């Protein structure tokens, strides 16, 4: 889809990847995004393969053969296309949605993406990551544990888990 490359709106919050962890209830990887002031955390559940792609970049592991996102970065560079930004733009039925905004000579374009792929590419291209305020608000309502817990208890449990994570905690889980 070719579109005019819009500037990020006030509705977007710039965030950064602060690490990967494991969901203690489902044993699934979670990527943790935090706003630039580290006041707001956004957990996004992802698959093991996607977590591996993100972890190799976070840990600056150099592989003998390029992974898919490395190949994408090289293809974009050789085609003189750059990643302007990624946006995590929607959350519906506990599924996150993202867009990747590209710039090339003569204009820009946007492609739909899974957030994990968009984040893996953003990390490799050093591109900013944005999340809409609506996604941040909706994510606070995700059911995080058993049915017998109240919504407030679930929210408090995850807030406590995320706030108590130290940078060292992210390195102790193997992907």
Assess whether pLDDT exceeds 80 at residue 151. Answer: no
Nearest to 43 by CA among 136, 111, 112: 136
Q: How many CA atoms lie within 13 A of 104 on its CB side?
A: 13
Can you tell me the distance from the alpha carbon of 102 to that of 76, in angstroms, rounded to the nearest whole number? 9
Whole-number average pLDDT of the chain: 83
CATH for 12-165? 3.10.690.10
Query: pLDDT (tens digit, 9 = 90+) per residue, 4-39?
Result: 455 566 799 999 999 899 888 888 999 999 999 988
- Spacing of C-alpha 90 from chain mean position: 12
Inter-residue long-range contacts of 97-106, CB under 8 Å, 24+ positions, other chains counted: 101/5, 101/6, 102/5, 102/76, 103/5, 104/79, 104/80, 105/80
Q: Distances in Å between the alpha carbon of 85 and those of 21, 156, 160?
A: 24, 31, 30
The helix or strand, by DSSP H or E, that contains position 31, with its residue range, turns out to be: strand 29-35
Query: Of residues 89 and 2, which shows the higher confidence score?
Result: 89
SS3 50: helix
- Residue 152: what pLDDT? 58
Backbone angles phi, psi at 125, to 5 degrees: -100, 5
Grade residue 112 by pLDDT with cuts at 50, 70 and 90: very high
28-32, 61-65, 166-170, range with the lowest pLDDT = 166-170
- Residue 27: what pLDDT? 87
pTM: 0.77
């Amino acid at each position: 889809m070719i579109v005019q490359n819009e500037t990020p709106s006030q509705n977007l919050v710039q965030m950064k990847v602060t690490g990967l962890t494991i969901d203690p209830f489902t044993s699934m990887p979670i990527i943790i995004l935090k706003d630039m002031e580290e006041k707001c955390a956004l957990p996004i559940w992802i698959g093991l393969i996607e977590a591996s792609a993100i972890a190799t970049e976070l840990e600056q592991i150099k592989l003998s053969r390029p992974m898919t996102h490395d190949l994408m970065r090289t293809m974009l560079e050789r085609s003189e296309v750059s990643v302007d930004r990624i946006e995590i733009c929607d959350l519906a039925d506990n599924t996150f949605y993202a867009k990747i905004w590209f710039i090339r000579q003569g204009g820009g374009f946007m492609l739909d993406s899974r957030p994990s792929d968009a984040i893996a590419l953003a990390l490799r291209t050093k591109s900013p990551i944005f999340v809409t305020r609506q996604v941040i608000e909706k994510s606070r309502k995700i059911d995080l544990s058993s049915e017998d817990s109240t919504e407030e208890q679930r929210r408090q449990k995850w807030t406590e888990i995320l706030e108590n994570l130290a940078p060292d905690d992210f390195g102790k889980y193997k992907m």
